[in-house]
Chains A and B, each alone.
Chain A
Amino acid sequence: MLDMDHATNKNFTFVTGRRKYLLFTDITGYGEITPILSSLDEQNLLYMVYYFNEFSSNHDLKTYLSQQKMGTYIYASGNWNSIISFVKTAEKAGFTEEELQIKGIGERILRVFCSRCYAINVCKTSKEMVCQSCGQSLSVSNHYSRRYDAYLGYTILN
């Protein structure tokens, strides 16, 4: 999966020179995209704004994104669950880290696979955690498995 940390900007950076801009958001994230909207209006650039829930399914969203031409650039802001789901779909539609910026609002919940006992742990944004099943200290990596919908937690030696 796209590296969330890499793709996550503290504040959006306006990227010029793209054919078209797509902005995806929800109520919590709308405030984050308004500066980008102002810049797009000022420069009279082509853009579309969508709420995440305008698409009835990820399949519909993927179909829409897959139809976009080269040179399309995406900004997405909203709660973390929406953002994670959106990024997975955008990746399936062929978008790369260089073609989007995301901004998650609130707490980011991660699923972490324990490399020692295979338990799936749920944790908040963190670099380190303790496996709730075996007690092993884990370093949360960005190595992601779609099969488990989880990131790999590597053993930290005491």
Chain B
Amino acid sequence: MKQLKEDIDEFPFPFKSNDPYRFSNNSIPLNPPISIDVTSKYIEEIKLKRDLLKTVHNRCYQSTPDTYEAQWEVLNLVMHHLSDMYPDRFKLKKEKDHWSFTNLITNETESFIYRDNSSLTLEPLDVIGRHVQEDLLILMEKDNELYLEAGQLCFPGRWSLVFKLGMTFLEIHQPIPEFNDTGLGDKIRRFLLNLEAGNPFERLNWALTIGYHLDTSIETFHKWGHKQKEVTPENVGSLVHLRVERQKLFRLPKSNSILFNIHTYLLSFEDLVQNPEWRSTFYDIFTNLPDYILKYKGAYAYKDTLIEYLKKFQQHA
């Protein structure tokens, strides 16, 4: 899919320098401290999200009973951020506990009584998640440990919300090579436990994927996984995409839980190489990645083809 200039302008290129890439805690303070980004792909992605929620709701939405307080906090936070940051597109009216949230893009209004579960037809997280491009996950803190207890996840990067529900932070990340063995996992876990309300953080995570597909769930790997084998020198630029997740972390003060949201961006390499700085930085980093990272990032199968493709542009630079 050839992307528009505004899509490329919005793309959060994840590398600041061409230093060798390794797994790390690359979180930085979120400025401005806003949980949601509305991009030019809003309508397209909201439609995709809602189609998935309609057809495979169980795969895309999970929660445990103890999360309602946290879910209402997420709804509160996101509705305020949307109406404050994008007042021409979202309106929030409140009369005591009677709230009315209007999405002027989709021409929908959600009216409900705040913190009254019976006033909504869906769970609060499932309601507000349908108005944002982000996937929304809730980590509950219990006994100095963080557990994934609720989530609306439509665009996963090769993981399953159904399988990971209820896991601790370290259990969730067990598949990442050297994450737990090196102490990095515990370091990030302690960072999250110290996260304070009012001081949100963000980080950029990246992987490679085939085609312009936001939904790369492991449940459907049998449908899309084989495309890795279809990469050729002729199609590598249009087929292979850099997938970047802008992840944001907010402490929710009442429930003492953490909102972890993920906004996923995709950019094909034929578009990426148009930016000489991005192209050069990515080339330097990619050619120095060890195999275990290439495998985890989904790039091992077509590594050489992509390097040859990038090299052509490097030589012409």
Contacts and interface: CB of A to CB of B under 8 A. Distances in A.
Given A113-B163, A118-B162, A144 B174 contact: yes
Contacts of A152: 160, 163
B211 interface: no
A143 to B, nearest CB: 5
A8 interface: no
A145 B225 contact: no
Nearest to A145: B163
Contact of A155 (B163, B165, B218): B218
For the complex, would chain B's binding face be called helix, strand, loop or mixed by DSSP majority?
helix
Contacts of A146: 166-167, 171
A136 to B, nearest CB: 7
Contact of B164 (A142, A145, A157): A145
Most buried by B among A113, A141, A142, A154: A154
B226 interface: yes
A116 B163 CA distance: 11
Given A157-B225, A157-B226, A115 B219 contact: yes
A30 B305 CA distance: 55
Contacts of B160: 115, 152
Interface string B193-218: 00000000000000000000000001
B221 interface: yes
Contacts of B162: 118
A152 B175 CA distance: 10
Interface in A115-158: 115-116, 118, 136, 141-148, 152, 154-155, 157
A118 B221 CA distance: 14
Given A145-B163, A145-B167, A148-B163, A155 B221 contact: yes
B222 interface: yes
B140 to A, nearest CB: 14
A22 B16 CA distance: 51
B80 to A, nearest CB: 33
Contact of B166 (A141, A145, A155): A145
Contacts of B175: 141, 143
B212 to A, nearest CB: 21
Nearest to A115: B218
Contacts of B165: 147
Interface string B63-106: 00000000000000000000000000000000000000000000
Most buried by A among B162, B163, B219: B163
B166 A154 contact: no
A139 B167 CA distance: 21
Contacts of B174: 142-144
B147 to A, nearest CB: 10
Nearest to A113: B163
Interface in A58-94: none
Interface string B261-290: 000000000000000000000000000000
Contacts of A154: 218, 221
A33 B218 CA distance: 42
Contacts of B226: 157
A155 B222 contact: yes
Most buried by B among A115, A141, A146, A154: A115
Contacts of B166: 145-147
Contacts of A147: 165-167
Nearest to A136: B222
Given A116-B219, A118-B162, A142-B174, A155 B225 contact: yes
B167 A116 contact: no
A142 B174 CA distance: 8
Contacts of A148: 163
| Smallest CB-CB A-B distances: 6 pairs | A147-B166, A155-B221, A115-B218, A157-B225, A155-B222, A143-B174
Interface of A: 113, 115-116, 118, 136, 141-148, 152, 154-155, 157
16 contacts: A115-B160, A115-B219, A115-B221, A116-B221, A118-B162, A141-B175, A143-B163, A145-B163, A145-B171, A146-B167, A146-B171, A148-B163, A152-B160, A154-B221, A155-B222, A157-B221
